[in-house]
Amino acid sequence: MKSILLVIISFLLIVLVSGCVQNNQSSQTDEKCQLSLCDCKCHPAGQTPEEVKGVLCGINCMDLYNISGCELVNGQCQVKYMTAAEIAKRDCISLCNQEKMNNDLSNGPCLSNKIIDDWVCDVAHSPRQAVDNDPANQCSEFGKSAKHFIEVDPDCNFIRSV
């Protein structure tokens, strides 16, 4: 009995720490609809497989399918997908966190000339510093193959997107 309880508690901690519940509690989710973490589909409130069958699920719909929540459209619950800007922001922050483990980001380097199609990921300072204007620290593809950028600070906090 204790081992089953430990497994359940461990699973719940993994789900909570990994952000798998963000969609059900997201401000982007219509209160009449809920995103199921069993099938990544939107259901009327109270009718997700988790609630109907009493099961525990933990799919991270945002990371796997770029689903940001649910919305009610013409009386039907529909999945709401992340925009390109939201995906680029998520991926840029993630890349930044990986890079800062092994690299000093204080000089504001370009982290990716293609974080996703048409987007670059750049480290800068807020407020801007002289090092941010050095072309060696800027993403060379911005204005060429990429029309948009995400800027994060050296601690990987989001600054802006354009």
Render pLDDT for 90-112 as a digit per residue (tens, 0 to 9): 999 999 999 999 999 998 899 99
* Local structure of 42: helix, strand or coil: strand
Q: What is the CA radius of gyration of the chain?
A: 20
**pLDDT of residue 20 exceeding 50:** no
For 94, 135, 149, 152, 156, the CA distances from 100, given in Å and listed in that order, are 10, 21, 19, 12, 8
Each residue's pLDDT tens digit, 119-158? 999 999 989 888 888 888 889 999 999 999 999 999 999 9
Maximum average pLDDT range among 44-48, 58-62, 92-96: 92-96
The reported pLDDT for the residue numbered 128 is 85
Q: Evaluate the omega torsion of the peptide bond into residue 49 and state whether it is cis, within 30 degrees of 0.
A: no
d(CA 142, CA 151): 12
- φ and ψ at residue 68, rounded to 5 degrees: -100, -10
What are the start-end ranges of the E strands in the chain? 33-35, 42-44, 67-73, 76-81, 110-116, 119-123, 148-152, 158-161
- 24 contacts 34 by C-beta, under 8 angstroms: yes
